[in-house]
Structure 1
Amino acid sequence: MTTGPETQEDSRQQRARPEPPRPGLVFIFSGGAPMFRPVPLDGGRLVLGREDAGGQPLPDERLSRQHAEVRHEEARWHVEDLGSRNGTSVDGVQVLARRAFSEPRVLRLGNTLALFHEDVRRLAGADVQVAPDSVRGPGFNAALERVAAAATAGETLLITGESGTGKELAARAYHRAGPNARGRFVDINCAAVPASVAERLLFGSRRGAYSGADADTEGYVQAADRGVLFLDEVAELSPEVQAKLLRVLETREVLALGASRATPVDVRVCSATHKDLRAAVAAGQFRADLYYRLAQAEVRLPPLRERPEDVPWLLAHALRDSPTAPSVHATYVEACLSRPWPGNVRELLGEARRAARDATAAGSRSLRAEHLDPEAGTALTPPASPSAATVTPDRATVEATLAEHGGNISAAARALGLHRTQLYRLLQRWGLGTS
Structure 2
Amino acid sequence: MEQDGSTLKPSGIRGDKDASGVERVPGLLRLFAPGKALAVALPLRGGELELGRGSPALGEAQDPRMSRRHARIRFDGRRFWVTDLGSQNGTFVDGEPVPAETPREAQRVIRMGDSLFVPCADVNPLEQQGVVTRNGFVRGPALQTLLEEVARAARLGFPLHIHGESGTGKEGVARAFHENGPRSAGPFVAVNCAAIPQTIAERLLFGARKGAYSGAEADAQGYLQAADGGTLFLDEVVELDLSVQAKLLRALETKEVLSLGAAKPKTVDILICSASNKDLRGLVASGKLREDLYFRIGRPEVTIPPLRQRPEELALLIQREVQQVAPELGLHISLVEACLLRPWPGNVRELLVETRSAIQAALMQGAQRVEARHLSPSAGTAFSAAPPPLPAPEERVLPREAPSRARPIEADERARIEEALRQQGGNVAATARALGMHRTQLRRLLERHEIAIPAGNELE
Same fold (TM over 0.5): yes
CA 328–426 in structure 1, closer or farther in 2 if over 3 Å, else same: farther
Residue 395 of structure 2 is matched in structure 1 by none
SS at match of 1:318: helix
Give the aligned residue type for 2:292.
Answer: D
SS at match of 2:190: strand
SS at match of 2:324: coil
Match of 1:413 among 413, 428, 435: 428
* Cα drift, residue 96 of structure 1: 1.7
* Cα drift, residue 143 of structure 1: 2.0
Residue 93 of structure 1 is matched in structure 2 by 96
Alpha-carbon distance between aligned partners in 2 of 1:419 and 1:229, rounded to the nearest angstrom: 37
* Cα drift, residue 418 of structure 1: 8.2
- Farther-moved stretch of structure 1 (328-337 vs 89-98): 89-98
* Cα drift, residue 57 of structure 1: 4.0
Residue 365 of structure 2 is matched in structure 1 by 362
Residue 288 of structure 1 is matched in structure 2 by 291
Matching of residue 202 in structure 1 with residue 205 in structure 2? yes
CA 229–120 in structure 1, closer or farther in 2 if over 3 Å, else same: same
Q: C-alpha offsets along residues 43-69 of structure 1, whole Å, 9 cap, x if unaligned?
A: 111111222152624332212222111
Residue 453 of structure 2 is matched in structure 1 by none
CA 426–130 in structure 1, closer or farther in 2 if over 3 Å, else same: farther
Structure 1 alignment gaps of length 5 or more: 1-16, 391-408, 428-434
Matching of residue 110 in structure 1 with residue 113 in structure 2? yes
SS at match of 1:374: coil
Contact 1:204 1:219 in 2 (8 A): yes
Contact 1:359 1:367 in 2 (8 A): yes
Alpha-carbon distance between aligned partners in 1 of 2:23 and 2:275, rounded to the nearest angstrom: 37
Match of 1:128 among 128, 131, 134: 131
Alpha-carbon distance between aligned partners in 2 of 1:165 and 1:416, rounded to the nearest angstrom: 22
Q: C-alpha offsets along residues 279-322 of structure 1, whole Å, 9 cap, x if unaligned?
A: 11111011011011112211111111111111111111211223
1:217-366 aligned at under 5 Å gives the runs 217-323=220-326, 325-366=328-369
Match of 2:165 among 162, 169, 190: 162
Residue 44 of structure 1 is matched in structure 2 by 47
* Cα drift, residue 114 of structure 1: 1.0
Residue 27 of structure 1 is matched in structure 2 by 30
Q: C-alpha offsets along residues 318-365 of structure 1, whole Å, 9 cap, x if unaligned?
A: 112234652111111011111111111111111111111212222221
Alpha-carbon distance between aligned partners in 1 of 2:239 and 2:436, rounded to the nearest angstrom: 36
Give the aligned residue type for 1:377.
Answer: G
CA 69–127 in structure 1, closer or farther in 2 if over 3 Å, else same: same
* Cα drift, residue 87 of structure 1: 1.4
Residue 81 of structure 1 is matched in structure 2 by 84
SS at match of 1:98: coil
Give the aligned residue type for 1:413.
Answer: V
SS at match of 1:89: strand
Contact 1:23 1:44 in 2 (8 A): yes
Residue 57 of structure 2 is matched in structure 1 by 54
Q: C-alpha offsets along residues 243-273 of structure 1, whole Å, 9 cap, x if unaligned?
A: 1110011111111111222221110011111
Give the aligned residue type for 1:261.
Answer: K
Identity of aligned residues (%): 47
Alpha-carbon distance between aligned partners in 2 of 1:416 and 1:340, rounded to the nearest angstrom: 10
Matched pairs, number: 395
Alpha-carbon distance between aligned partners in 2 of 1:416 and 1:168, rounded to the nearest angstrom: 31
Match of 2:75 among 53, 72, 76: 72
Alpha-carbon distance between aligned partners in 1 of 2:440 and 2:432, rounded to the nearest angstrom: 14
Give the aligned residue type for 1:105.
Answer: R
SS at match of 1:125: helix
Alpha-carbon distance between aligned partners in 2 of 1:289 and 1:259, rounded to the nearest angstrom: 26
Matching of residue 149 in structure 1 with residue 164 in structure 2? no
Give the aligned residue type for 2:426.
Answer: A
Alpha-carbon distance between aligned partners in 2 of 1:290 and 1:35, rounded to the nearest angstrom: 43
CA 46–57 in structure 1, closer or farther in 2 if over 3 Å, else same: farther
* Cα drift, residue 128 of structure 1: 1.7
SS at match of 1:270: strand
CA 416–304 in structure 1, closer or farther in 2 if over 3 Å, else same: closer
Contact 1:79 1:98 in 2 (8 A): no
Residue 432 of structure 1 is matched in structure 2 by none
